[in-house]
Amino acid sequence: ELRAMTAEHRALLNSAVDAGSAVANVNLASLDPALRSEIRSSAEALEEKEELVSCQILIYELERIFTYLEAELGNTVSKGYIPLQDRLNVAEFGLLESQIESFEKQLEAGEYVDPDVLAVVLDQVTDFKRRLGIDYYVTGLTFDREAIQRFLADLLEKTKS
């Protein structure tokens, strides 16, 4: 649905570009008021749909994180305690959940959700998933310098003893 809306919006913008122009600049002030209004309403609808899709992606990712945390924590009654890192992960999950819940409420009320804030929260969710070990985004071969140094130091210590 988002792809179709994007294609329709592009077609609408292309209809406003002069056929002989070398650069596709659209001067809204020189357009027919009806076409200008149609372009603006199409842009607003497209932006709203993009916000909705971003929010749905965040909800989906949050559900995946919840499933992972639920499986990791297991039955805490049998353990008798919850490790600090698990408690911190649950706290971070709660913060992300409340942020995403507020986005949902804003969208349901028809209010504007800042796309920059959505992008930041999406980055936070991606980082949280990376730290939990869910979905590694590999864009080439990278090394964790600290992990390698730690490994070498441990190896050196083992060989000394």
**Residue type at position 131:** R
What does the pLDDT look like over 58-78, one tens digit per residue? 889 899 889 888 888 876 666
DSSP state, 30? Answer: G
> CA-to-CA distance for 124 and 6, rounded, in angstroms?
27
- Contact call for residues 83 and 35 (beta carbons, < 8 A): no
Can you give the pLDDT at residue 96? 93
Within 8 A by CB and 6+ apart from 154, the residues are none
> CA-to-CA distance for 13 and 137, rounded, in angstroms?
35
Can you give the pLDDT at residue 95? 93
- Contact call for residues 69 and 93 (beta carbons, < 8 A): yes
Q: Which of 92-96, 126-130, 145-149 has the lowest average pLDDT?
A: 145-149
> Please, how many CA atoms are within 13 Å of residue 17, restricted to the half-sphere of its CB?
13
Enter the pTM of the model.
0.63
What does the pLDDT look like over 96-145, one tens digit per residue? 999 999 988 988 888 878 888 888 998 999 899 888 888 655 455 556 67
When pLDDT is cut at 50, 70 and 90, the band that residue 49 belongs to is confident
Q: Please, is 77 exposed, middle or buried when counting C-beta atoms within 10 Å of its C-beta (0-12, 13-18, 19+)?
A: exposed
Can you give the pLDDT at residue 3? 83
DSSP state, 109? Answer: T
